[in-house]
Chain A
Amino acid sequence: MTPVEQLELEEKVSRAPVIEPGHSFATISDKISSVVLTRPLSIGWLLGLSVAGTFVMVLTTAIAYLFLKGVGIWGINIPIGWGFAIVNFVWWIGIGHAGTLISAILLLLRQSWRNSINRFAEAMTLFAVACAGMFPVLHMGRPWLAYWLFPYPNTMNYWPQFRSPLVWDVFAVSTYATTSLLFWFVGLIPDLGTLRDRAKNLWIKRVYGLLAMGWRGSARHWSRYETAYLLLAGLATPLVLSVHTVVSFDFAVGIVPGWHTTIFPPYFVAGAIYSGFAMVLILAIPIRKIYGLEDFITERHLENSAKVMLATGLIVAYGYVIEMFMGWYSGNRYDSFLLWNRLHGPYSFFYDMLWLCNIFIPQLLWIRKFRRNPILLFMISAVVLVGMWLERFIIVVVSLQRDFLNSSWGMYYPTRWDWAVFLGTLGFFTFCMFLFLRLLPSISMFEMSTLLPESKVKE
């Protein structure tokens, strides 16, 4: 079925369209580029940017104090040495995964509805990975020696230990960050060319011209571009699955009860996509409203994202059920105790909340009316993000809290500096998103054009 036939068929079965009728090539690029080029600075945007900027300052303060005093300002201690830093690392990197899923996997599956949400989902990935990357480095104690993680010839005659999952993680996350950045930038090149051609101000024209690198839409260039883009999608797909798998190895390779399970890789990847789509909805719902992009980000997109959330949420639920089952079925006293400790230990409230946020509340998405209601969807997404954060908290903290020896049990209480860094990264993420919305086209203009029936060559 050609895309045109598919569009016609979809009209017949009266699904919400991926692009509202009445648009042409010119109106698409007008509407999207006007957000960047002609829309005046609004009070709302400035206010949002300043609030986010305040939290960026909270972050820099917290980091400065951390550098001054060391990780003792955080609540971490033996036995819980990982604490918020690793909880937040896993949470942020998981959020990033939806962007790559949308841009790469849905491209390979020819889900053309993705064309309007892939750009900002990729930006979301990039900023989320930047937030994630901060935590392991800050957690190192001596972050200025972070480059020791990479293999390079040095005077100490020392090399990294390649049998360690923590070293795998360095390679996985840095490859992921590089790939996300390049994939996003390659997708932007033709649109930067459009902005260069449409900008009226000479300096704005020059800046976009410099970034577009002289893109002129030559047929030869497009041919190579399309091949490269498709290959990048093909490479990013196994990569994104590997990244959270490797993150789960950080736990699964250890022998701590609650970590040492083979279900971790698939359940981590599903959880990552789950939280990522929740973040996509959190961002998409206000953006489409404020910037008047409802024609491009339609109810169909919201509904499809909700369906992905529902599906991945069920995989996560399966993971929880299997963890409980194995705690009982293995007959291993430490595994059984872990289960008891999750259900009745000092952090049992958070475990109950985890089930409520991640498993029970999202079941509302089975109902079509709820999937099409942006406000409700926004709230469910926020609940899922909280739930996924709690999941990582349970995995990191409750597993370490009471392991094999009673003498080494302990409790973990985050300090104000733990919260400052976490809220600071939330601010940093929002700050970057605000800048991105105004400085770059948040929807891919050239990919949206290919959704129009007139873009197809008639025989």
Chain B
Amino acid sequence: MAARNPIYGLLAEFETPTEVVEAAKKTHAAGYKKIDAYSPFPIEELSEAIGFHHNNVALVVLCGGIIGCLTGYLMQYWIATISYPVNVGGRPFHSWPSFIIVTFELTILFSVLSAVFGMLALNGLPMPHHPVFNVPRFELASKDKFFLIVFSSDPKYNAGDTRAFLEGLRPVSISEVPS
């Protein structure tokens, strides 16, 4: 195992959404691929700028929905026709129109559960500790400041050069993030 880099990355702070998106685009264009950005509210352009174009949440939800739909219908089919058939007013055991509602509800339930827990799992949450929290100014990332980080695991990362490059983007400040 390679020795762990004592530095997790270099964190640059910006004042406005426009500046951080501009900086992220330039950093990505300069060949840094392992980068991330932090903002107090969602900025659609920002994830594009760091080269994150697709997420898999919708796929997870689709799978959850299909599983929920099948679970709902098959459960009712099995109960009503195989395990516990009850004759209600001479209706067929497999009275499918009555099964639609519970099928629908379980489709929604499974989709919702997979949307919430899928999103959290893909984001690697819960994870209350993270190196960026070690930077005191980072607490402004949830208020009114915007941050860009170049991770030290990036192949192009070099403490001196990367800092010089980030300085060129004219951030408010640059901090080293200890890992």
Contact = CB atoms under 8 A, between A and B. Distances in A.
Contacts of B76: 162
B86 to A, nearest CB: 7
B39 A219 contact: yes
A379 interface: no
Contacts of A219: 24, 36-39, 43, 46-47, 49-50, 52
A194 B129 contact: no
Given A151-B75, A162-B98, A216-B132, A235 B111 contact: yes
Contacts of B24: 219
Contact of A172 (B44, B52, B101): B101
Interface in B27-82: 36-47, 49-50, 52, 55, 57-58, 61, 75-76, 79-80
Interface residues of A, number: 67
A217 B20 CA distance: 14
Interface in B81-137: 83-84, 86, 88, 91, 95, 98-99, 101-102, 104-106, 108-109, 111-113, 115-116, 118-120, 122-123, 125-130, 132-133
B141 interface: yes
Contact of B130 (A160, A198, A214): A214
Contacts of B58: 227, 231
A179 B104 CA distance: 14
B55 A449 contact: no
B108 A218 contact: no
Given A219-B47, A454-B17, A29 B40 contact: yes
Where chain B touches its partner, the secondary structure class is helix
Interface of A: 24-26, 29, 151, 157-163, 167-168, 171-172, 175, 178-179, 182-183, 185-186, 190, 193-194, 196-198, 209-210, 212-228, 231-232, 235-236, 238-239, 242, 246, 249, 445-447, 449-450, 454-458
Given A162-B80, A228-B116, 17 more contacts: A29-B142, A160-B79, A168-B101, A182-B112, A197-B139, A197-B140, A209-B128, A212-B128, A216-B142, A219-B24, A220-B55, A224-B55, A226-B44, A232-B115, A239-B108, A455-B17, A457-B43
10 contacts: A29-B142, A171-B101, A172-B105, A194-B40, A196-B142, A198-B139, A218-B37, A224-B119, A231-B111, A449-B40
